[in-house]
Amino acid sequence: MIQCNICSEQLSNPVFISPGKSITSLCEILPGKTEVYFCGNCGHVQTLALENIESYYDTDYKILIDSEEEDQLYQVIGDKKIFRFDHQVNMLLEKLKLPSGASILDFGCAKATTLKKLLTVRNDLDAYVFDVSKMYIPFWDKFIPKQNQATYTTPAEWNGKFDFIQSFFVMEHVAKPNEMLDQVHSLLKTGGQIYFIVPNVSTNIADFVVADHVNHFSRCSLLHLFSSVGFTDVSIDDQSHNGAFIVYARKSASSTGVRCNSAEVGFYSAKVKDMANFWNTLSQKIISFENENKYISTAAIYGSGFYGTFISTCLRDFDKVKYFVDNNPFRQGKELLGKPVVSPADPGNDVEIVYVGLNPNFAKRTIEALSEWKSRNYKYCFL
């Protein structure tokens, strides 16, 4: 029997089972299906955990590890590209008042790039790093003293030490978020603050089927989690980071028991059914489009991230795809599933069909805004 990761309610039937193979957040294709469950008690959505989850994060999960500078494109405004780590620093500085000399721990930090960028504008901060892998130590050694680093477990002398603990895109991977938050709670000083970001599946529907995201939080499940563990002044912001929640809260002595009302959970339950339906019909939509255009022999996929990978798992004839197109310079020149990743500025006159592997909320706008593509007569498949 499966239990809710947040409130321990027993969960019976999955709301979604993937029709094909599973895809991870790093766009690896894994055998086996992705099963998604909904908790009608606290409004949480969760995915059956990968087997061997500890060793996966210790040795296999290599996010943006190719170089120091590698980053994800967050947003393009006009000609200006904004990258995710910069946006995270700007938001943190806007939302938290960090006193001079405050201690701050980056929990589950990977390369700790956000912290590194934060320190370039706030070098007065006393910074620490922690992760469940040793593979990021060479990155940490460049800017964090050895005694401020920890792997696998945090040292006892760190308990009650920190003014702030930040954590970016970690808790969605954690099979026991209560335990992680308990640990954060004991590491903070009384009155200290946690600040973290997790995906918001309501505004980034890809998150629903990501195989290694065991948690898909809602406003209700976040509130339930934070108030149970002993945090107060819980602020849940779904506006300041596209497709994600920014959550910050203050350590308190006891749990507050704040909950959503059942009407809000019920409303969300209907939304979850829509999301399941979206993914159930999507692969069919891609297959139908492919069938209707079976006499066209060349195609490209716009987007070399999750949506692009999903499209590739649906296509019957992936050989027709010549390349992936991506506007992120860190992706260009690489390969995905054996195909090159090229820039939208490349000529592109050797393909007729473009499958658009972008978040459907802004896919059309993104394609319309590509100045180089205004005169191109591609046949598009939008999700």
Cα-Cα-Cα-Cα torsion 205, 209, 213, 217, nearest 10 degrees, comes to 40
Residue 9 Cβ vs Zn ion, minimum distance, rounded to whole Å: 5
Minimal CA–CA distance to 368: which of 76, 95, 108? 76
Span interacting with Zn ion, options 4-12, 16-24, 126-134, 315-323, rule CB under 5 A: 4-12
45 binds Zn ion (CB under 5 A): no
End-to-end Cα distance, the chain: 34
Nearer to Zn ion, 45 or 314 (CB): 45
Span interacting with Zn ion, options 34-42, 208-216, 249-257, 272-280, rule CB under 5 A: 34-42
Nearer to Zn ion, 7 or 337 (CB): 7
6 binds Zn ion (CB under 5 A): yes
Q: What angle do CA 238, 226, 359 make, to 5 degrees?
A: 30
Q: Which parts of 322-361 interact with Zn ion (CB under 5 A)? A: none
- Asked if residues 198 and 107 have their Cβ atoms less than 8 Å apart, the reply is no
Span interacting with Zn ion, options 2-10, 58-66, 251-259, 265-273, rule CB under 5 A: 2-10
Residue 368 Cβ vs Zn ion, minimum distance, rounded to whole Å: 41
- Asked if residues 216 and 172 have their Cβ atoms less than 8 Å apart, the reply is yes
Residue 229 Cβ vs Zn ion, minimum distance, rounded to whole Å: 14
Which residue in 42, 244, 275, 356 binds Zn ion (CB under 5 A)?
42
272 binds Zn ion (CB under 5 A): no
Minimal CA–CA distance to 71: which of 80, 61, 56, 81? 81
DSSP 14-63: -SEE-SS-EE-TT--EESS--EEEE-TTT--EEEPPPTTHHHIIIII--T
Nearer to Zn ion, 259 or 322 (CB): 259
d(CA 33, CA 11): 18
d(CA 335, CA 341): 6
The 8-class DSSP code of residue 132 comes to: S
Main-chain phi, psi angles of 304, to 5 degrees: -105, 25
Residue 286 Cβ vs Zn ion, minimum distance, rounded to whole Å: 33
44 binds Zn ion (CB under 5 A): yes
Which residue in 18, 24, 34, 41 binds Zn ion (CB under 5 A)?
41
Span interacting with Zn ion, options 3-11, 100-108, 140-148, 273-281, rule CB under 5 A: 3-11
220 binds Zn ion (CB under 5 A): no
Residue 160 Cβ vs Zn ion, minimum distance, rounded to whole Å: 30
How many chain residues touch Zn ion (CB under 5 A)? 8
Residue 6 Cβ vs Zn ion, minimum distance, rounded to whole Å: 5
Residue 271 Cβ vs Zn ion, minimum distance, rounded to whole Å: 16
Residues 271, 272, 276, 279, CA torsion sign: positive
11 binds Zn ion (CB under 5 A): no
Question: What are the tokens at 46?
Answer: 């969760």
Residue 214 Cβ vs Zn ion, minimum distance, rounded to whole Å: 13
Nearer to Zn ion, 81 or 219 (CB): 219
7 binds Zn ion (CB under 5 A): yes
Binding mask of the shown chain, residues 78 to 97, with x at each position contacting Zn ion by CB under 5 A: --------------------
Residue that has been written with the tokens 């059309």 in this structure: 364
Nearer to Zn ion, 8 or 159 (CB): 8
4 binds Zn ion (CB under 5 A): yes
Strands 353-356 and 299-302: parallel
**What is the CA 181 to chain-centroid distance, rounded?**
18
Which residue in 16, 23, 36, 39 binds Zn ion (CB under 5 A)?
39
d(CA 91, CA 306): 25
Residue 11 Cβ vs Zn ion, minimum distance, rounded to whole Å: 8
Residue 260 Cβ vs Zn ion, minimum distance, rounded to whole Å: 11
Three-class SS state of 301: strand
SS3 content of the chain, % helix, strand, coil (to 5): 30, 25, 40
In the complex, the residues that contact Zn ion under the rule CB under 5 A are: 4, 6-7, 9, 39, 41-42, 44
